[in-house]
Amino acid sequence: MGRKYFGTDGIRGLTNKAPMTPEIAMRVGQVAGAHFLRGDHRHRVVIGKDTRLSGYMVENALVAGFTSVGMDVVQFGPVPTPAVAMLTRSMRADLGVMISASHNPYYDNGIKLFGPDGFKLSDEDELAIEAALDVVPVLASAEHIGRARRVEDARGRYIHAAKMTFPDDLRLDGLRIVIDCAHGAAYQVAPSALWELGADVISIGVNPNGTNINDGCGSTHPEALQARVLSEQADIGIALDGDADRLIIVDEKGRVVDGDQLMALIAADWHRAGLLRGNGLVATVMSNMGLEKFLAGHGLDLHRAAVGDRYVLEMMRAGGFNIGGEQSGHIIMTDHGTTGDGLVASLQVLAALVRAGKPASEVLHQFDPYPQLLRNVRFSGGQPLADPKVKAVIAAAEAELGQSGRFVIRKSGTEPLIRVMAEGEDAALVERLVGAICDSVKEVCA
């Protein structure tokens, strides 16, 4: 069956417009709660959120839904997505929920669901929940309604868990770090963890007001971080997104380092230490060809999954890999967690930097990327990629690019966008061909 509510990363949309209304959120709580009522124990769901204003509304609706079917609820308040995944397991919960639209603006929100193992739900579980969302739920009897409570030390528990992934023999003393938390979920935990490990921490993006999350800051807008790294003469800059499951790094010269470079660094570091499993890593179809060439030079393989960290993780679990991720900065290390974790990934990068004893600009740029261009075209409906005119332009562009590069053209799973990416040896050719395809999409959407 088709998906009406779930995309590539849970349920996401414009606040107070379907599917992100309080009514649907409450129904998600009822249906997901009932789906995980398995066994005769007292059932529990844990809920975290980022700093969006609408988080209060969505959280309360979910609590009403879960308790109405007999699930107890534990509320964490603002915590990163990986904290919810970790605490779902450690608190023996039947289900974990993160209320966040990740890197999207404040007026969007979303619901991410984690199973009792801390992993995002399988397609089978999501489809079962989808099917039940339009069915009247069976509510608990009065004496079996669930209870709700808040846990105030969730952030401290996550900080401790994150620090435990950093090598015991290393410290961050003397390292000057600027961290941009995007006014999001990690605004307290990330600077605290770095400070506790000895770093000199300069924090930006740590004053959330409900509407400034990801607004000109964080991993999708690194310009403020670049400027601050240079003005503070910092050794490195770290940018997280709104729910802190991805990161982008800035070196001491103000240059941005993306997820492909970071995965290359971590994989090579782990390979030398005998820690890398699967003889390579899993990335997506969007990752640069330069990463593939770099790994091959170390005798390692690059395996490509569909876009979306859930698909990366599925391939990692199937193939026994312990590193995977996306160019955008989602990096999953299954030795340390069950989902992307910007803070934990940054600690692995910092460990490599400390061991090398060299400037970030010399350590973090592992390979020369192929010229790559990604452009997004917003559309209001229909299937523009199925239009004969667009298909003809794409076919002509693919023929002209030939074997010197590749295209990835797809509909976004989280936003009404057509994403057009190309890479190749000739940057000017890549730009011209991407422009032609984008123009054709705009024309049929007009």
The answer to the question of residue 351 being in a domain is: no
CATH code for the domain in which residue 323 is found: 3.40.120.10
Return d(Cα 346, Cα 234) in angstroms, integer: 15
Whether residues 178 and 146 share a domain: the answer is: no
Give how many domains the chain has, as a whole number: 4
pTM of this structure: 0.90
Instruction: Return the structure tokens found at 40.
Output: 């005769």
Whether residues 18 and 56 share a domain: the answer is: yes
In the three-class reduction of DSSP (H, G, I as helix; E, B as strand; rest coil), residue 157 is classed as helix
What residues make up the domain containing 217?
158-256
Q: Are 9 and 309 in contact (CB under 8 A)?
A: yes
Of the three residues 152, 177, 203, the one that is the final residue of a domain is: 152
Return d(Cα 76, Cα 118) in angstroms, integer: 16
What confidence score (pLDDT) does residue 1 get?
Answer: 46
Whether residues 11 and 138 share a domain: the answer is: yes
Whether residues 26 and 126 share a domain: the answer is: yes
The answer to the question of residue 353 being in a domain is: no
pLDDT tens for 253-282 read 999 999 999 999 999 999 999 999 999 999
pLDDT tens for 26-45 read 999 999 999 999 888 999 99
Whether residues 117 and 138 share a domain: the answer is: yes
Whether residues 147 and 187 share a domain: the answer is: no
Residue carrying the six token digits 């199925």: 386
Whether residues 11 and 28 share a domain: the answer is: yes
Q: Are 102 and 63 in contact (CB under 8 A)?
A: no
Identified catalytic residue from 54, 68, 100, 102: 102
Whether residues 192 and 79 share a domain: the answer is: no
Q: 121 vs 34, 236, 429, CA distance in Å? A: 15, 35, 41
The answer to the question of residue 65 being in a domain is: yes
The single-letter code of the amino acid at 350 is L
Whether residues 266 and 180 share a domain: the answer is: no
Overall size of the chain counted in residues = 446
Report which of 330, 298, 297, 294 is spatially closest to residue 311, judged by C-alpha positions. Answer: 330
Of the three residues 131, 152, 173, the one that is the final residue of a domain is: 152
Whether residues 147 and 41 share a domain: the answer is: yes
Return d(Cα 264, Cα 239) in angstroms, integer: 18
The answer to the question of residue 419 being in a domain is: yes
Whether residues 193 and 307 share a domain: the answer is: no
CATH code for the domain in which residue 382 is found: 3.30.310.50
CA 24 to chain centre: 23
The answer to the question of residue 100 being in a domain is: yes
* Long-range residue pairs from 431-436, CB within 8 A, at least 24 positions apart, any chain: 431/373, 433/397, 433/400, 433/401, 433/407, 434/373, 434/375, 435/375, 436/393, 436/397
The answer to the question of residue 203 being in a domain is: yes
Residues lower than pLDDT 70 in the chain: 1-2
The answer to the question of residue 1 being in a domain is: no
What confidence score (pLDDT) does residue 392 get?
Answer: 96
Of the three residues 226, 256, 286, the one that is the final residue of a domain is: 256
**DSSP H helical ranges for 218-339:** 223-232, 259-272, 289-297, 309-319
What confidence score (pLDDT) does residue 2 get?
Answer: 59
Whether residues 288 and 390 share a domain: the answer is: no
Hey, CA dihedral for 222, 56, 416, 445, is it positive or negative?
A: negative
**Would residue 102 show up in a list of annotated catalytic residues for this protein?**
yes
The answer to the question of residue 297 being in a domain is: yes
Number of other CB atoms surrounding residue 373 within 10 Å: 16
